[in-house]
Amino acid sequence: MSFSFSIQAVYHHFQSSKEKAKNLPSLKCIVASSVCKLPTAENIAASGLNLEHLRMIYTRDGEDGLHFTFTSKNSEGQPRVTNTKRTLDTLVPNLANFFQRKCTQ
């Protein structure tokens, strides 16, 4: 029994897989634009966020909103996307630049 998964862990895995399949296609453009790498985009998608969600967060709260969203804790106490400083220090400004470029075009 010590090596088995809890019901919540199995449920969370299936939910995140379903969310990733639904949201990842919208994030392909940020991978193609070198804003982030595919594993990071997969983490964003699995957390239930798509490109339009990220755009709305950035429009409302700027870089601080993106940072807070990525680091907020889920029900298991884990960060929603990541809390790695190095990743956040590149990802958040890259996303901000991506949205600024798209808004001016």
Give the start-to-end residue ranges of the domains of the chain.
7-104
Residue 66: what pLDDT?
97
pTM (two decimals) = 0.87
Give the integer Cα–Cα distance in Å for 21 and 25: 8
CB-based burial label for 73 (10 Å; 0-12, 13-18, 19+): exposed
For every one of its 105 residues, what pLDDT tens digit does the chain have, with 9 covering 90 and above?
667 877 777 888 888 889 999 999 999 999 999 999 999 999 999 999 999 999 999 999 999 999 999 999 987 788 999 999 999 999 999 999 999 987 654
Please give the backbone phi and psi of residue 79, each rounded to the nearest 5 degrees, phi first: -65, 145
